[in-house]
Structure 1
Amino acid sequence: MRRLALALLTFAATPVMAEDLEFVLINNSSLKLVEMYVSPHEAEDWGENILSVASVDPGTEGTISIADGATVCDYDMRFVMENGNDVSGTQNLCELATFTLHD
């Protein structure tokens, strides 16, 4: 079973301390992304799947907006792929411009 590795491409971005956070998610893996969860690092649970589409096909990208009203920058992110495997990690979303999923 293959495990997904996350590669992070961070481009120059103005740090955001506002309530809305935004970054481009690129699915550069060979699998469809079927669920995505984002929660403040201190949160106890993941909350709901934030994808507004059924899946994100390999080779596609889209803008992810986090408008939760929180004033934090560190968020836990969890990605669930079509084969059921998932990967998670913590990221400073105030400084993130692009996040890329890889095999």
Structure 2
Amino acid sequence: MKPIATILGVSALFLAAPAIAGDQDFTLFNKTGYDIAEVYVSPADAKAWGDDVMEDEVLEDTASVPITFNAKNDICNYDLKVIFTDGDEAYWTNFDLCTISKIQIFWNAKTQKATAKWE
């Protein structure tokens, strides 16, 4: 079983051209081994997570979902938080969504670590 509030800071800062509003969209791939009940994406400097972008949907293990922003801003650095169907959660920080189009999240039960790959 996963420990509650597993935290892994992911530094995903890249040099990029100036962002165009709406360039923060990406596809999230769940490779954790667990189903995800909630997904939150917020600017890195935000004090609150905001709304669950999955609404009432569940992101099953091995599935993916497009995450689309309606924001008309040029914010690039975002944090990602997921809550699994068993209530445990994990989060990652500082994804540069102006340069990233795919994020794969992983859970290693042996080491009890959450990690991510992106492109």
**If you compute each CA radius of gyration, which structure gives the higher value, 1 or 2?**
2
By how many angstroms is 1:53 displaced?
Answer: 4.8
* 1:59-86: CA deviation from partner (whole Å, max 9, x where unpaired): 1112111222221100111111111111
- Name the structure 2 match of 1:97: 101
RMSD: 2.4
By how many angstroms is 1:46 displaced?
Answer: 0.7
The correspondence of residues 2-81 of structure 1 with structure 2, limited to 5 A, is 2-3=2-3, 17-20=19-22, 21-81=24-84
Q: What letter is aligned with 1:61? A: S
Give 3-state SS (helix, strand or coil) of 1:25's partner: strand
Cα distance in 2 for residues equivalent to 1:15 and 1:55: 34
Would you tell me which structure has more strand in proportion to its own residues?
1
Cα distance in 2 for residues equivalent to 1:34 and 1:61: 13
Between the aligned residues of both structures, percent identity stands at 21
Normalised by the length of structure 1, the TM-score is 0.79
Give 3-state SS (helix, strand or coil) of 1:51's partner: coil
Cα distance in 1 for residues equivalent to 2:78 and 2:67: 13
**Ranges of 4+ aligned residues in structure 1 off by more than 3 Å:** 3-6
Normalised by the length of structure 2, the TM-score is 0.70
Does structure 1 retain, via aligned residues, the 8 Å contact 2:28–2:104?
yes
